[in-house]
Structure 1
Amino acid sequence: MTATLSILTTYTSDGARAPYEDTVGKDGLLRYKFQGNPKHYTNSSLREAFNRKVPLIWFYGVNQGLYLPFFPVWIVAVEAEHSQVAVALDEAQRHLSSVEGPPSEIERRYSERIVRQRLHQPVFRQRVIQAYDASCAMCRLRHRALLDAAHIIPDSKPEGIPAVSNGLALCKIHHAAFDQNILGIRPDYRIEVRADILAETDGPMLKHGIQEMHNVSLTLPRRRVDRPNPDLLEERYHQFRAAG
């Protein structure tokens, strides 16, 4: 039992400074910081896990006292000069040459995609759904299996950060309608349905599910820090208006 079994990243609200800055390196691999003195037993057990190449569980905080587990992960490099270790989220990342030298562009992009898909997106989803109390911000549907964490600004753009303030808990139909610019959200948190959609005549889903959302106010998270960023909403609203 000399090697660590798990690592943990505590929950930190958006905008607050985390006690340990676990980040993604230039090679696309995650970095997990040592805790305090590099010679502390917890950090020695990280080195032992690297030497023995054993899998770990990474518990990632998504709310106070609530963690999302990722297993297996591996320590693939010890970077004592920076008081940190490099962590791989899948088997392919374990064997990238980037941990021993400069990564190729393909390797870096692959690692960044893996981190986004396997860590940032699941954490983002859980944090957003928790912030909205497992309820669609538009129609109040409370079936968690039918809810998505929608980005206001897509994560493919630099400003599309995986923060709760860049997210909305939406049911799948309203998420799709938002992505397709069938409806938009004004910076004052009111929903706007595109004019041509309002003029359509169709079945009850269009009438009650989409058209009746026009000018309805979003249900917002209780904590102000978790509410949609008005600047991001305004940017996204301009795209909605242009599409219409």
Structure 2
Amino acid sequence: MSHKWSQFKDLRLRREAISWLQIRTSGGVHSLSREELNDFFFDGQPFKLIDPMKGIRKPAELEAALSIMTAYRKPGEDRPYADDVGPDDLPRYMWEGNNPETSTNAGLRLAYERNLPIIWFIGIGGSPTQFHAVCPVKIIGEERSLKRFVLSPVLEDDLTFAGLGDPGSAENIIKKYLQRETKIRLHQPVFRASVIRAYNGRCAVCSLGHEILLDAAHIVPDSDDRGIASVTNGLALCKIHHAAYDSSILGISPDYTVEIRRDLMEENDGPMLEHGLKERHKEKLMTLPSIMKERPDRELLDITYQKFLLAQPA
């Protein structure tokens, strides 16, 4: 029979787990499989960070939940639970089932009440399925009528924003800050991990295979209403091709053909321009996701391709 740990030991576990994940993922660059996540040890004993069957991990030794998991879905598929973002652009995590007092839901609620950090594992696909660890995050509210919790990344100063959901509160500046931090700390790393995994760690244009030199480029910027947060709005690009794509030096047509701006094709400026850009003109993308539903959305490609055409010199 398990005995509940002290709150001090609970917090030490969370800190050690988050530190271990930061090291194992090179600061959030890499993702891990369930088997790799089982390599975590606490006080010399193996300790599971992710529940093998449920979305919420509430170990018997702890009073509060330790982690949550969002299942991977292919583009166009629904997840088992409708985790989403709220009108404030902060992510939500659904209860398990409809009973607010199940051990898992109560465990998450206690993590909220005690202001404890938790780990969020987000499935990004692959075989075996890879999980991107977002940590630490905290629960900053509960919407009981909608059966879900409000999540936020943990800020450096670890502020607690009381009354965040109160429409009459004077927290607008704080809300905007949280929204920006959520995008930087949560959405962007998960988007990057999903895109790099889909392209098997290679640049779509030149097939460079060193992940540290790769970016997940948005086809249509996420600041644009059409810039959906999906792998189909992404391209794995090395840093030179990412910069060229964003500045309309390089275009990609809806049929996955690379084009280089006309004036650059007439320049002579060394091997990088010659081999890195000009040789790719009118060539097909060298790397595409093996899963058809994860390939670039042709309509989104065309939006940016038209901007590329307009950027051509007269």
Range class of TM-score, shorter chain: over 0.9
1:57-206 → structure 2 map (5 Å cutoff): 57-64=119-126, 65-91=129-155, 94-95=160-161, 97-102=163-168, 104-206=171-273
Distance 1:164 1:79 in 2: 29
Equivalent pairs counted in the alignment come to: 244
Distance 2:123 2:250 in 1: 33
Give the AA of the match of 2:136.
P
Deviation at 1:57, TM superposition (A): 1.0
| Larger mean Cα displacement after TM superposition, 104-113 or 152-161 | 104-113
Q: 2:86 aligns with which of 8, 13, 25?
A: 25
Distance 1:37 1:234 in 2: 44
Structure 2 equivalent of residue 54 of structure 1:
116
Give the AA of the match of 1:24.
V
Structure 1 equivalent of residue 67 of structure 2:
6
Consecutive unaligned residues in structure 2, runs of 5 or more: 1-61
TM-score (norm 1): 0.94
| Larger mean Cα displacement after TM superposition, 54-63 or 191-200 | 54-63
Consecutive unaligned residues in structure 1, runs of 5 or more: none
Distance 2:235 2:168 in 1: 37
- Specify whether residues 26 and 208 from structure 1 end up closer, same or farther in structure 2 by C-alpha distance, changes over 3 A only: same
Deviation at 1:100, TM superposition (A): 3.6
Distance 1:222 1:115 in 2: 30
Deviation at 1:105, TM superposition (A): 4.2
- Specify whether residues 78 and 61 from structure 1 end up closer, same or farther in structure 2 by C-alpha distance, changes over 3 A only: same
Distance 2:104 2:68 in 1: 10
- Specify whether residues 2 and 74 from structure 1 end up closer, same or farther in structure 2 by C-alpha distance, changes over 3 A only: same
Structure 2 equivalent of residue 40 of structure 1:
102
Distance 1:81 1:204 in 2: 61
Give the AA of the match of 2:147.
S
| Larger mean Cα displacement after TM superposition, 148-157 or 78-87 | 78-87
| Larger mean Cα displacement after TM superposition, 83-92 or 219-228 | 83-92
Distance 2:283 2:160 in 1: 49
Give the AA of the match of 2:269.
D
Distance 2:114 2:207 in 1: 49
Larger Rg: 2
TM-score (norm 2): 0.74
Deviation at 1:206, TM superposition (A): 0.6
What is the SS of the residue equivalent to 1:134? coil
Deviation at 1:102, TM superposition (A): 4.8
CA contact (8 A) 1:74 1:89 kept: yes
Deviation at 1:101, TM superposition (A): 3.6
Alpha-carbon deviations, 1:134-177, whole Å to 9, x = none? 00111110001000000110111111112111110000000001
Deviation at 1:107, TM superposition (A): 3.5
- Specify whether residues 151 and 102 from structure 1 end up closer, same or farther in structure 2 by C-alpha distance, changes over 3 A only: farther
Deviation at 1:29, TM superposition (A): 2.4
Structure 1 equivalent of residue 33 of structure 2:
none
Alpha-carbon deviations, 1:183-206, whole Å to 9, x = none? 101111100111100000110111
Q: Which has the higher helix share?
A: 1
What is the SS of the residue equivalent to 2:221? coil
Distance 1:215 1:9 in 2: 40
Give the AA of the match of 2:164.
S
- Specify whether residues 107 and 28 from structure 1 end up closer, same or farther in structure 2 by C-alpha distance, changes over 3 A only: farther
Alpha-carbon deviations, 1:94-148, whole Å to 9, x = none? 4164234456543443222122111111011001001101001111100010000
Identity %: 45
